Amino acid sequence: MSQLPETMRASVLLAAEELEIQDRAVPVPDADQVLVRIEAVGVCGSDVHFYHEGKLGDWIVEEPLVLGHESAGVIVAVGADVDPARVGERVSIEPQRPDPTSRESLSGNYNLDPHMEFYAVPGVDGAFAQYATIQSHFAHTVPDHVSLEAAALLEPLSVAIATARKAGFTVGSRVLITGAGPIGIITAQVAKAYGASEIIVTDVDARRREQAERFGATKTIDPIAEPVGTLGLDVDSFIDASGAAAAVRSGFGEVRPGGTVVLVGMGASEIPLPVTTIQNNELIVTGIFRYNNTWPTAIELVASGKVDLDALVTGRFDLDHVADALNSTRNPDTLKSVVTPNA
């Protein structure tokens, strides 16, 4: 292995819509960490919010921040407590560091740890850089036949797997997904892999509906032409992957009694919900906040060919063009833009 450089290039967000390439010291891994040469980073909606608005929900960018949390690469160095044989492994990064002693971590819900350190959230730099560190157990080894771009996208796949678990996808399930963006598309693939018999996807954009059909939707709906909520779909689970208030409200009307609603999309912090429908039909309503213990399932779904992540990549950008990558999400034809820091 060649000598590691002392410095690296990183794309740093200084303020809303203000990025700068900086030379930074290559991070030194803690005893329980590995150093990863970053080869691929997917652009997420949260990155886009931080870039355009300088904030996301209660998180506000007040200090320079490296964005990017959907990442993969090759281990090039390890901390003192990590087996040096791991150097050279191709890995997908689970971009979080919970407190292992928190109540949430001890119950298995480490994603809900209130003291979580998560890539690309103010206070913790992400992966739009040539190198990054992560605790060794969150550097998940991927098979050689899984591309590093697909390995990076195991992160949004993990969101879809967490969604599937909450929704109870199983053989014969009937599923409604509102929003045919990346998470909606990946969730449709997961629903198919889990054996769902009907996967109905709605989106106002015809091109996104066409993409949904390519990735497993058995039916697509234009909610402007066919008002969702009045169609009698009688689905087992409704997944909102849009964050649009109208889509959230309308989906409740298509769920069978005793069914499940999972809110995934990021939208307004408060919206009115049909409480009478929820009560009378005893609907289970829940949200998704990241994921836990999903990477083994994600790796198996991709390695076995049940989920295709490579086909989602619609654009590639180097570190000098991160702004273009973030702006590319405005194009309805874009599914996943990928930044390649070491290109």
Give the chain's domains with CATH numbers.
Answer: 7-153+309-339 (3.90.180.10), 160-287 (3.40.50.720)
pLDDT digits (tens, 9 = 90+) for 184-220: 999 999 999 999 999 999 999 999 999 999 999 999 9
pLDDT > 50? residue 1: no
What pTM value is reported for the model? 0.96
Nearest Cα to 308, choosing from 141, 139, 149?
149
Give the per-residue pLDDT at 50: 96
**Chain segment 121-173, per-residue pLDDT in tens:** 999 999 999 999 999 999 999 999 999 999 999 999 999 999 999 999 999 99
pLDDT of residue 277: 96
Q: Are strands 117-118 and 174-178 parallel, antiparallel or unpaired?
A: unpaired
Q: How does the average pLDDT of the chain come out, rounded?
A: 96
Angle at 170 between CA 169 and CA 175, to 5 degrees: 45
Mean pLDDT for the stretch of residues 13-31? 97
User: Which has the closest alpha carbon to 215: 235, 196, 243?
Assistant: 196
Exposed/middle/buried for 226, CB within 10 Å: 0-12, 13-18, 19+? exposed
Exposure string of 92-127, with b = 16+ CB inside 10 Å and e = fewer, is bbbbbbbeeebebbeeeebbbbeebebbbbbebbbb
pLDDT recorded at residue 285:
98
**Is the model's pLDDT at 268 over the cut of 90?**
no
Nearest to 116 by CA among 93, 96, 94, 137: 96
